[in-house]
Amino acid sequence: MNDVARRIIRSAERIVSFSGAGLSAESGVPTFRDPQTGGLWKDFDPTRLASPQGFAADPDLVTEWYAWRRRTIAEAQPNPAHTALAARGDITHVTQNVDDLLRRAGAQHVIELHGTIARDRCHAACGHEEAVDLADPPGLRACPACGDHLRPDVVWFGETLPAEAWEAAERACVSCEAMLVVGTSAAVYPAAGLIALCKSAGAKIIIVNTQPSEASDLADVELLGKAGEIVPELLQERH
Ligand code: BJW
Ligand code: ZN
């Protein structure tokens, strides 16, 4: 294990983890962009499946696609990277992931920037929301409160991030001493901007990824390899 990375983690009082789809890849949840394997966006068009315009054009298609992803996530288990992160009660977890694997691993402070696939909400934003059974996901249905469509409670392209989550993430980032960036291409904004925010506030940046990412230039230490192997080793014993 890289000594500089270990020293950064050991000496930091406040640590933020910033994760992306690569954190859950070893659990069998597909990533979005992966130069090696392609990822979801190689076979599926994000503008048709992860945008309000796509949902308006074909709500059944979008609902079916999310049902498939929900079943995949229901079958997945947290991997050693989730478990190692969750075991550190002193880390604030800022995640772009909509799966619930960090929470299932027992993580306490999880900030979900892109929402959660484990809940539906009213597309007309009337305020109605309900939990869904990931193993037996519902088809397209009407909001019981206003009659519009229900949709996954996730953030699609062109939509704003949940204000409370965003503000909490910003607060954690400006006051942390180290950020552990795990399994993200750092290609999607505004989330990816949190890495530069941390860096400009004086934090050390450690990146764990199977390959260089768009945040590589910001890294104090870049550890190339699988999250499930590197993260547990990096976070072993605190002192
Ligand atoms: C491993 C591994 C292993 C693999 N171990 N590593 C500034 C500049 C340019 C564009 C914009 C900008 N600001 C905003 C935009 C537009 C847009 C955007 O960012 N576009 C870019 C693609 C160019 N952003 C938005 O639209 C956002 N909203 C917004 O800006 O609102 C303000 C606004 C409103 C109205 C008008 C104008 C502005 C919203 C973004 C929402 C993103 N939504 C998604 C879908 C969520 C729901 C769902 O899951 O279905 O979020 S897209 C998808 O990308 C998902 C992810 O959270 C997100 C990030 O992806 P992530 O997690 O990084 O995954 P990958 O696949 O990209 O990377 C995986 C990485 O893991 C790879 O690097 C692998 O190497 C690595 N890896 N195995 C370690 N075992
Ligand atoms: Zn409604």
**Residue 19 to residue 100: CA distance in whole angstroms:** 13
Tell me the pLDDT tens digit for each residue of 82-120. 999 999 999 999 999 999 999 999 999 999 999 999 999
Which residue has the least CA distance to atom 12 on ligand 1? Answer: 189
**Residue 95 near ligand 1, beta carbon < 6 Å:** no
**pTM over 0.85, yes/no:** yes
What is the 229 CA–ligand 1 centroid distance (Å)?
Answer: 24
**Residue 173 to residue 161: CA distance in whole angstroms:** 16
Residue 122: nearest ligand to its CA?
2
The structure tokens listed for 202 are: 């004086």
What is the 65 CA–ligand 2 centroid distance (Å)?
Answer: 21
Domains in the chain (CATH in brackets) are: 1-29+78-114+161-239 (3.40.50.1220), 30-75+119-154 (3.30.1600.10)
Percent above pLDDT 90 for the chain: 91
Ligand 1 atom nearest the C-alpha of 35 is: 75
Q: Which residue carries 């992306």 as its tokens?
A: 20
Tell me the pLDDT tens digit for each residue of 198-215. 999 999 999 999 999 999
Q: Which residue carries 């260089």 as its tokens?
A: 212
